[in-house]
């Protein structure tokens, strides 16, 4: 497949006189796609019911005439001020009970019926007008669901909807009381309308209460999005896409993605390194201008799974941003590297955010491909290089990994609700596995927890999966490759109770006697090297012991094909364990130098240098921020 580039554009921010020139420059730079409209509601409908499509008609025409394909966004992430006059209670409340007010964006509660109706109305109006416009080649629903902690709302609307959701799920209040274990601390309810949202309780609420609230909240995002999807599909055949964010686990992206055609995400490597990474300060300092070498790759693979192989980068950082604690500029070459890392992972398109830096409002310090004075910024220069390289490059194949890693949103909720130790974080646990695989030179597929077919893999990793559900259980029964699961995998029932009776891991006989969360400095060294940190589980098992701690505690059990980890291995131990499993499965590993990463597709091997130094690797000379590809 030929890959393509694009950008995000806000014609409403600029004088109409600039539009044609902007369009021409985009096309000339080799960009194919342009996303517009997603924050423009106050200009499309300045007053209730008073629609102004003219300017949008004109800009679509200008862009389309310049040969650009348009992604049109529904503008529901930024309801205009007058909608609040109509629905004053449409705001989300935060966990402290405070309204999250107008004045920025995403100021709505997903559960508010009035705002859902507004969202449907504006979507329908846009779909009717542009659904068959040939320049509209894709639709984006809303913008960055869940960003700014907006999935969870503690509003009255959310409370009412949650009660209905529970009544629907449980049928009778007794069923709910039993499922949650409400006999504990006399928490029994008599009626569904006695159940409040689980905030502001004296001490921690029932974890089952919390988990159902998280499931409900995720469902509300799915439902909100689906309403737009159904309307858009009535009027347009163009593919539907949403732009997700990094490390947002508050809703189940697989379920939103199932209603859409393409997944996309907004990739800000430098901002995310400062803002959302668990890496230590030294790592952040070393990669400050390059971004974490594995963080983007992880999300590329995650959203590839969410999009069922169809995915994009909808917003690619082109220079310094404005929102992280520290905002350095990318090392020259990194905008190109990030683009190629996306393509190597199968991205159909990479769109840079934004075409021109706005000199006003919240994001005025966020770089664009152009400076605010329209001068070309370094981001555009590198984008042009990528465009040229795309032209020159023969078809880039899609990858087929031999290693897979299960990532599950519900498990993220479960362990946020019940970390049991200050350091336990599900994303971090999965990401640690991902990073170790990348350091071994491997390409990885990420799988949802309901995966029913594992037959194309040789090795599947399932760390921290709260519950093994039926499709995965069946797939595992049939799976001939190796599986490494644990810690915490299979430890809970669907109702968030401890798994009793059965083994925590399908295919092995393992029970967890107790768990320990470990303070920094209390790591448990392993006899074979490395150590367990954060977490240890004492097992009751008759399975062969594969390794032990220096103190003789069982750390890993099982056999060549099924293994269970009784703790959280550090990188050194993970590398050793994963390499061992790969060797058993005939997967070739390669210990990469710091900062070097590889991505294989059916047609090419891509080699990336995330370090700021020149590196000699495998007879290849990698410049700082260098990218090299070889046909396979």
Q: What residues between 2 and 61 interact with a copy of itself by CB under 8 A?
A: 10, 12-13, 39-43, 46-47
State in angstroms the smallest separation of the CB of 521 from a copy of itself.
5
Q: Which stretch binds a copy of itself (CB under 8 A): 115-123, 260-268, 276-284, 467-475?
A: 276-284
State in angstroms the smallest separation of the CB of 150 from a copy of itself.
7
Contact code string over 525-554 relative to a copy of itself, x by CB under 8 A: -------------x-x--------------
Element (H, E) at 44: helix 41-44
CB contact at 8 A, 110 and 159: no
Q: Which of residues 245-274 bind a copy of itself (CB under 8 A)?
A: 274
Instruction: Rule CB under 8 A: choose which of 169, 215, 308, 371 binds a copy of itself.
Output: 371
State in angstroms the smallest separation of the CB of 159 from a copy of itself.
12
Q: Which stretch binds a copy of itself (CB under 8 A): 187-195, 237-245, 254-262, 406-414?
A: 187-195
CB contact at 8 A, 105 and 39: yes
Question: Residue 234 interacts with a copy of itself (CB under 8 A)?
Answer: no
State in angstroms the smallest separation of the CB of 215 from a copy of itself.
17
Rg for the chain (alpha carbons), in Å? 25
Instruction: Rule CB under 8 A: choose which of 421, 509, 525, 529 binds a copy of itself.
Output: 421
Return the number of the residue (13 or 605) whose C-beta is nearest a copy of itself: 13
Element (H, E) at 410: helix 409-417
Catalytic site includes residue 144: yes
- Burial status of residue 192 (CB atoms within 10 A of its CB: 0-12, 13-18, 19 or more): middle
Instruction: Rule CB under 8 A: choose which of 113, 171, 359, 544 binds a copy of itself.
Output: 359
Cα–Cα distances (Å) from 475 to 63, 324, 341, 449, 570, in that order, read 48, 42, 31, 11, 29
Instruction: Rule CB under 8 A: choose which of 2, 519, 591, 630 binds a copy of itself.
Output: 519
State in angstroms the smallest separation of the CB of 482 from a copy of itself.
29
Instruction: Rule CB under 8 A: choose which of 17, 280, 392, 498 binds a copy of itself.
Output: 498
State in angstroms the smallest separation of the CB of 582 from a copy of itself.
33
Write phi, then psi, for 341 (nearest 5 degrees). Answer: -60, -40
Q: Is 405 helix (H, G, I), strand (E, B) or coil?
A: strand
Question: Residue 377 interacts with a copy of itself (CB under 8 A)?
Answer: yes
Closest CA to 44 of 141, 130, 126: 126
Considering 45, 274, 315, 580, which one is annotated as catalytic?
Answer: 315
Instruction: Rule CB under 8 A: choose which of 6, 73, 75, 463 binds a copy of itself.
Output: 75
Closest CA to 482 of 554, 577, 354, 388: 577
Catalytic site includes residue 315: yes
466 DSSP 8-state letter = S
Residue identified by tokens 């192989």 is 309
**What DSSP string runs through 502-541?**
S-SSTTS-EEEEEEEE--TT--EEBTTSSEEEEEEEEEEE
Residues in the interface with a copy of itself (CB under 8 A) total 112
**Residue 384 CB neighbour total at 10 angstroms:** 18
- Here the tokens at position 189 are 């309810």
CA distance 468 to 465: 7
Q: Which of residues 435-474 bind a copy of itself (CB under 8 A)?
A: none
Q: Which of residues 84-143 bind a copy of itself (CB under 8 A)?
A: 84-85, 92, 96-107
- Here the tokens at position 584 are 């058993």
Instruction: Rule CB under 8 A: choose which of 15, 17, 280, 375 binds a copy of itself.
Output: 375
Question: Residue 284 interacts with a copy of itself (CB under 8 A)?
Answer: yes
Q: Which stretch binds a copy of itself (CB under 8 A): 53-61, 394-402, 496-504, 588-596?
A: 496-504
- Here the tokens at position 6 are 């694009």
CA distance 557 to 510: 9
State in angstroms the smallest separation of the CB of 458 from a copy of itself.
35
Element (H, E) at 41: helix 41-44
Return the number of the residue (149 or 389) whose C-beta is nearest a copy of itself: 149
CA distance 366 to 353: 9
CB contact at 8 A, 181 and 497: yes
Contact code string over 391-420 relative to a copy of itself, x by CB under 8 A: ---------------------------x-x
State in angstroms the smallest separation of the CB of 345 from a copy of itself.
28
| Residues 6+ away with beta carbon under 8 Å from 125 | 51
Considering 38, 45, 118, 144, which one is annotated as catalytic?
Answer: 144
Q: Which of residues 189-218 bind a copy of itself (CB under 8 A)?
A: 189-190, 194, 196, 198-209
Return the number of the residue (205 or 307) whose C-beta is nearest a copy of itself: 205
Q: ∠ CA(447), CA(449), CA(454), 5° rounding?
A: 55
Closest CA to 226 of 256, 196, 187: 256
Return the number of the residue (168 or 281) whose C-beta is nearest a copy of itself: 281
Contact code string over 302-341 relative to a copy of itself, x by CB under 8 A: -----------------xx-x--xxxxx------------
Q: Is 39 helix (H, G, I), strand (E, B) or coil?
A: coil
Return the number of the residue (327 or 443) whose C-beta is nearest a copy of itself: 327
- Here the tokens at position 185 are 């601390």
CA distance 591 to 576: 11
Q: Which of residues 568-627 bind a copy of itself (CB under 8 A)?
A: none
Q: Which stretch binds a copy of itself (CB under 8 A): 110-118, 249-257, 354-362, 400-408?
A: 354-362
Closest CA to 217 of 149, 302, 119, 299: 149
Closest CA to 133 of 228, 227, 47, 37: 37
Instruction: Rule CB under 8 A: choose which of 65, 172, 175, 364 binds a copy of itself.
Output: 364
Return the number of the residue (538 or 620) whose C-beta is nearest a copy of itself: 538
Q: Which stretch binds a copy of itself (CB under 8 A): 27-35, 128-136, 439-447, 495-503?
A: 495-503
Q: Is 429 helix (H, G, I), strand (E, B) or coil?
A: helix
Positions annotated as catalytic residues are 144, 315
């Amino acid at each position: 497949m030929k890959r393509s580039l694009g950008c995000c554009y806000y014609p409403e921010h600029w004088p109409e006189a600039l539009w044609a020139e902007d369009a021409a420059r985009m096309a000339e730079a080799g960009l194919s796609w342009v996303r517009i409209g997603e924050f423009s509601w106050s200009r499309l409908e300045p007053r209730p019911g008073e629609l102004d499509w003219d300017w949008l008609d004109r800009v679509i025409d200008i862009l389309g005439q310049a040969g650009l394909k348009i992604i049109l966004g529904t503008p529901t992430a930024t309801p205009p001020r007058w909608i609040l006059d109509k629905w004053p209670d449409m705001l989300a409340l935060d966990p402290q009970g405070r309204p999250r007010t107008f004045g920025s964006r995403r100021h709505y509660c997903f559960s508010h019926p009035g705002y859902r109706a507004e969202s449907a109305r504006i979507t329908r109006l846009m779909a009717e007008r542009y659904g068959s416009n040939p320049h509209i080649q894709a639709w984006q629903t809303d913008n960055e669901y869940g960003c700014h902690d907006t999935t969870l709302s503690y509003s009255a609307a959310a409370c009412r909807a949650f009660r209905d959701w529970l009544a629907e799920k449980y049928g009778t209040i007794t069923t709910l009381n039993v499922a949650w274990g409400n006999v504990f601390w006399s928490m029994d309810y008599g009626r569904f309308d006695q159940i409040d949202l689980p905030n502001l309780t004296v001490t921690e609420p029932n974890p089952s209460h919390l988990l159902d609230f998280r499931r409900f909240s995720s469902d509300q995002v799915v439902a909100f999005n689906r309403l737009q999807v159904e309307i858009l599909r009535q009027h347009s055949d163009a593919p539907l896409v949403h732009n997700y964010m990094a490390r947002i686990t508050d809703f189940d992206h697989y379920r939103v993605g199932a209603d859409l055609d393409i997944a996309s995400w907004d990739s800000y490597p430098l901002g995310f390194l400062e803002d959302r990474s668990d890496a230590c300060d030294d790592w952040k300092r070393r990669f400050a201008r390059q971004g974490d070498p594995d963080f983007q790759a992880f999300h590329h693979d995650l959203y590839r799974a969410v999009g069922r192989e169809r995915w994009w980068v909808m917003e690619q950082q082109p220079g310094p941003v404005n929102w992280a604690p520290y905002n350095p500029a990318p090392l020259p070459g990194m905008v190109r590297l990030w683009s190629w890392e996306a393509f190597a992972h199968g991205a159909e398109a990479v769109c840079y955010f934004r075409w021109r830096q706005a000199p006003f409002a919240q994001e005025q310090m966020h770089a664009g491909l152009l400076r605010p004075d329209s001068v070309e910024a370094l981001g555009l220069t590198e984008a042009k290089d990528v465009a040229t390289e795309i032209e020159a490059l023969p078809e880039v194949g899609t990858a087929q990994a031999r290693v897979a890693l299960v990532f599950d949103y519900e498990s993220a909720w479960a362990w946020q609700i019940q970390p049991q130790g200050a350091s336990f974080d599900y994303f971090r646990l999965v990401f640690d596995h991902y990073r170790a695989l990348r350091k071994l030179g491997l390409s990885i597929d990420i799988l949802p927890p309901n995966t029913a077919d594992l037959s194309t893999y040789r090795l599947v990793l399932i760390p921290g999966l709260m519950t093994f559900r039926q499709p995965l259980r069946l797939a595992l029964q049939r799976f001939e490759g190796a599986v490494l699961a644990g810690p915490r995998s299979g430890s809970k029932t669907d109702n968030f109770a401890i798994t009793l009776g059965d083994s925590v891991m399908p295919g092995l006989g393992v029970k967890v006697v107790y768990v320990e969360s470990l303070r920094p400095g209390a790591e448990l060294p392993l006899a074979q090297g490395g150590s367990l940190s954060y977490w240890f589980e004492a097992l009751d098992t008759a399975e062969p012991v594969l390794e032990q701690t220096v103190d003789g505690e069982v750390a890993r059990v099982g056999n060549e094909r099924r293994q269970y980890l009784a703790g959280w291995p550090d990188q050194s131990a993970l590398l050793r364990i994963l390499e061992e499993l790969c060797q058993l499965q005939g997967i070739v590993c390669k210990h990469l130098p710091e900062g070097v990463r590889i991505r294989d597709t059916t047609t090419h091997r891509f080699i990336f240098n995330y370090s700021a130094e020149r590196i000699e690797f495998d007879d290849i000379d990698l410049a700082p921020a260098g990218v090299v590809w070889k046909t396979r």
